[in-house]
Amino acid sequence: MARKALKLTEKKIADMIQAGRSQGEGADYQPWIQVGNFSSEGRGHRIADIHTGRIHHFFSDLEASYYYILAWADQVIDIREQYPLFPVSDTEDITQALGYRHPRAPGNAINEVMTTDFLITVQDASGTHLEARHVKYEKGLEKTKRNRKT
């Protein structure tokens, strides 16, 4: 059960950024949303990274399982979870272009900051690059269909 609700306002977003959320890499990274910010359908996990010691926050068994796959992959240099997609105006533009309503939590006066489950720093033969990953159970894909504006 969540200790508090994460009700976003422009001030709350600014405060979260000021507090260091979604900034840094490795041991210094703090996820945008954390277990305990709100309730979720799945089990929450807080896992200490074997390389950095940082606590990772996951909202389902699937996210935690995928983290373990990434943690043992030789080419993965850094794992950042619950990574925000900033600026919000970009995700607003994308949803508008696709004809969907931008996600908004109940009671919020502003659009939500959308996140991806993982932002991974990968080192391979072509160099270092970032990969964004979103993991979801198949049954969850069916019930999260977005509402079209039209």
Q: Which domains does the chain have, with CATH numbers?
A: 10-143 (3.40.1350.10)
Q: What 3 state SS string does 53-108 have?
A: CCEEEECCHHHHHHHHHHHCCCCEEEEEEEEECCCHHHHHHHHHHHCECCCCCCCC
Q: What is the pTM of this model?
A: 0.84
Give the whole-number percent of the chain exceeding pLDDT 90: 61
Contacts of 18 (CB under 8 A, 6+ apart): none
Q: What is the pLDDT of residues 63-93, one digit of tens each?
A: 999 999 999 999 999 999 999 999 999 999 9
pLDDT higher than threshold 70 for residue 55: yes
Q: Quote the pLDDT of residue 5.
A: 57
DSSP 27: G
CA distance 24 to 31: 10
Residues 6+ apart with CB under 8 A from 97: none
Query: pLDDT averaged over the chain?
Result: 87
The per-residue pLDDT for 1 is: 39
**Is the pLDDT score of 115 beyond 90?**
yes
Pull the structure tokens for residue 53: 């010691």
